[in-house]
Amino acid sequence: MVALQSALEIKEAMNLRELAQLLNLSQTTVSRALNDYPEVSEATRKKVKDAARRYDYRPNARAQQLATGRSMAIGHVIPSSSQHEMVNVVFSDFVAGASEVYAQHGYDMVVSMVADQDEVQTYRDIAQRQKVDGIIVHGPIQNDPRIPLLNELGIPFLVHGRSTGVESAYSWLDVNNRRAVERATSYLLDLGHRRIGLVNGFEHMDFAARRRAGYLSALAAKGVPADPDLMTSGEMTEPNGYEAACTMLDLDEPVTAFVSSSIVPTLGIRRALEDRGLKIGSDVSVVCYDDAISALPNGDPGAPTYTATRSSVRDAGRRCAEILIERIGNPTLPHVQELWEADLVLGGSTGIAATPEPVDR
């Protein structure tokens, strides 16, 4: 197929020198006028700005970056191992929030998705080649090596989440995962449930470990023994949620309730219940950790289908961006460490435990 070459005249972008010549001014003055430096008279400034607008002059970003030493960009590195968990749902909503703030401050967002084994190299590269002014660290695991690495590289960064075991100081923003799941579990216990399944994410992920801790601590507080058969961890996908739910529903002593780590596996749990003709809420209760993803149920406040611990990951993205930009502006500020509480939103997916479960022995 032959494609017609566009016949449109493509106007070369004009540069500072040309604009200065046009105005019979020096580059210095033009540059200062545009950047609101006080050394130019208001009259000249106006003239310059008008001309810039008229000729649609925009400073070349690459030159500007080289000259100023700032790249006006913030990096997000996503290890591909966590692709299935992170990328699809949570990450994209986070990014939507962050990029909103970036846009306001003139920052660009550069995203690298990278194989695990290349991760360290990627961080080194990004930092030393000065591609970005700051980095947001996603999906921290326990004892995450990226944190000391970034500290060593001396580039401002902010962790979305936390990393237990890391010695060095760093800035982070996290949701109180432990408390959230603790409350969710307690609530189910209060409803009379004793066989409560935990469908967790991979537990080397820091957030998942904390959720498990919350689950265990709620059980312990009520004197309910933890049963390894009722705790699964893995990718937070629909099929995985389905699998986990099937297993736990088909036990000799089946579960009567689930605590699920995300809305996505919860969809799988629902499918498993449906298969068995079990009604969610009345037959089996489900509480899920809801990141308030807009495309999925419960993102819509009008239809609170699930009882859930809810916290907006989009808001988190926004706030992370703000904090990081502030730290880029002044890296010597004390570290910011924000812990957000999730809401426990009651919905139709939970109810009194059906049978008081007579313990036969």
Partner DNA sequence: AATCGGTCCCAAAGCGGTTTGGATAGGGAA
Partner DNA sequence: TTCCCTATCCAAACCGCTTTGGGACCGATT
Is residue 21 part of the contact set for DNA (CB under 7 A)? Answer: no
Q: Write each residue from 170 to 209 as x if it is in contact with DNA (CB under 7 A), else as -, in one continuous string.
A: ----------------------------------------
Is residue 281 part of the contact set for a second copy (CB under 8 A)? Answer: no
Burial class (CB in 10 A: 0-12, 13-18, 19+), 129: exposed
Least distance to DNA, CB of residue 37, Å: 7
Which one, 12 or 167, has the nearer CB to DNA? Answer: 12
Distances in whole angstroms, Cα of residue 21 to Cα of each of 13, 50, 61, 191: 15, 15, 21, 78
CB atoms < 10 A from the CB of 269, how many?
Answer: 27
Which one, 31 or 349, has the nearer CB to DNA? Answer: 31
Residue among 168, 179, 173 at smallest CA distance from 158: 173
Which one, 54 or 129, has the nearer CB to a second copy? Answer: 129
Is residue 120 part of the contact set for a second copy (CB under 8 A)? Answer: no
Least distance to a second copy, CB of residue 311, Å: 17
Is residue 355 part of the contact set for a second copy (CB under 8 A)? Answer: no
Among 16, 52, 89, 189, binds a second copy (CB under 8 A): 89
The entry of a second copy, DNA, none that residue 26 binds, CB within 5 to 8 Å by partner kind: DNA
Residue for token digits 């609101």? 36
Least distance to DNA, CB of residue 48, Å: 9
Least distance to a second copy, CB of residue 282, Å: 13
Among 21, 41, 282, 294, binds DNA (CB under 7 A): 41
Is residue 68 part of the contact set for DNA (CB under 7 A)? Answer: yes
Give the range of 53-61, 223-231, 281-289, 349-357 binding a second copy by CB under 8 A: 53-61
